Amino acid sequence: MTYWNNKVVVITGSSSGVGKEIAKGFLRAGATVVISGRDEGRLDAAKEDLEGDSLFTVRCDVTDDASVEQLVQTVISEHGQINVWINNAGKSDRGTAKELTVEQCQDAIDMNFLSTVRCTNQVMPYLIESQGHLVNMGSLAAKSAGPFIGAYAIGKHPLTAYTQQLRPELKTDGVHVMFVCPGPIARDDPSPRYQVNNDMPESAAKPGAGIRLNLIDPAKLTKKIIKGCETRKPEIIIPRKAR
């Protein structure tokens, strides 16, 4: 038996990328894992890739109240408890601050911040009941905004204040709150994911918008997250020199 046997872990935005890697790590640790995302086809592909009798999928749009409520209630109905909730769903961006529109900012805030509030409000009673863990996935951009990342930092910065306020409030209820702020994550496909305009250097299309930091191995980040839950660590900032 390990700490994670008979524990139920729910990860939003986990059909690919770092969310999928986190799911893999918790499965290996012995937990029951529920992955979620908007695209059912990608969820099915992730389930096939990850395998395991302890892996389950539930479609969810974290920008929609009813969809989030359905995710939480489905997990409770099928598994009876939620021990870890990881708010991983989010959306990156590229662009210059001088060209930002109100609509871009609203979209970034809804996807990167309000989605976390929406999910947390729904799952909180069950985390209090299980004396569990709430993990908010931030970014170095939640701590300090760099150039050419569009509305991304605008959407992530509120997570810092929200998580800082939640931590002492939920501690009295026995819930561990952890904020995870990684730098750019290494991906299987290293090709640029973003288009850049003439006002931006080509490096802005790369992970981290060209920030001079080594790419983070998602498997190593996952180990830190699992260990951080086990030891009830308040925050993970990686790499260390970014602290």
pLDDT exceeds 70 at position 1: no
Residue with more model confidence, 96 or 202:
96
User: What pLDDT score does 142 carry?
Assistant: 87
User: What pLDDT score does 177 carry?
Assistant: 99
Q: Are 10 and 60 in contact (CB under 8 A)?
A: no
Q: Are 35 and 235 in contact (CB under 8 A)?
A: no
With respect to residue 121, please indicate whether it lies within any of the assigned structural domains: yes
Residue 168: CATH number of its domain = 3.40.50.720
Query: 34-77 pLDDT, tens per residue?
Result: 999 999 999 999 999 998 899 999 999 999 999 999 999 999 99
Buried b (16+ CB within 10 A) or exposed e, 16-43: bbbbbbbbbbbbebebbbbbbbbeeebb
Residue with more model confidence, 235 or 243:
235
pLDDT exceeds 90 at position 21: yes
- How many Å from the N-terminal Cα to the C-terminal Cα in the chain? 35
Q: Which of 3, 118, 125, 134 is nearest to 63 (CA)?
A: 118
Find the mean pLDDT for residues 3-12: 98
**CA 130 to chain CA centroid, nearest Å:** 21
For residue 190, the enclosing domain spans: 8-230
Q: Are 34 and 12 in contact (CB under 8 A)?
A: no
Query: 81-107 pLDDT, tens per residue?
Result: 999 999 999 888 787 888 889 999 999
Side-chain-facing half-sphere of 62: CA atoms under 13 Å: 30
With respect to residue 238, please indicate whether it lies within any of the assigned structural domains: no
With respect to residue 127, please indicate whether it lies within any of the assigned structural domains: yes
With respect to residue 240, please indicate whether it lies within any of the assigned structural domains: no
Q: What is the DSSP string of 130-173?
A: HT-EEEEE--GGGT---TTBTTHHHHHHHHHHHHHHHHHHHHTT
With respect to residue 236, please indicate whether it lies within any of the assigned structural domains: no
pLDDT, mean over the chain: 90
Q: Which residues contact 231 (CB under 8 A, 6 or more apart)?
A: none
The model's confidence at residue 184, banded by pLDDT at 50, 70 and 90, is confident
User: What pLDDT score does 10 carry?
Assistant: 99
pLDDT exceeds 70 at position 28: yes
Structure tokens at 235: 């925050």
pLDDT exceeds 80 at position 195: no
Total domains in the chain come to 1
The model's confidence at residue 201, banded by pLDDT at 50, 70 and 90, is low
Residue with more model confidence, 239 or 168:
168
Q: Are 209 and 141 in contact (CB under 8 A)?
A: no
With respect to residue 160, please indicate whether it lies within any of the assigned structural domains: yes
Residues 33 and 242: their CA atoms lie apart, in Å, by 31
With respect to residue 186, please indicate whether it lies within any of the assigned structural domains: yes
Residues 209 and 202: their CA atoms lie apart, in Å, by 9
User: What pLDDT score does 62 carry?
Assistant: 97
Query: 147-179 pLDDT, tens per residue?
Result: 777 888 899 999 999 999 999 999 999 999 999
User: What pLDDT score does 212 carry?
Assistant: 62
With respect to residue 90, please indicate whether it lies within any of the assigned structural domains: yes
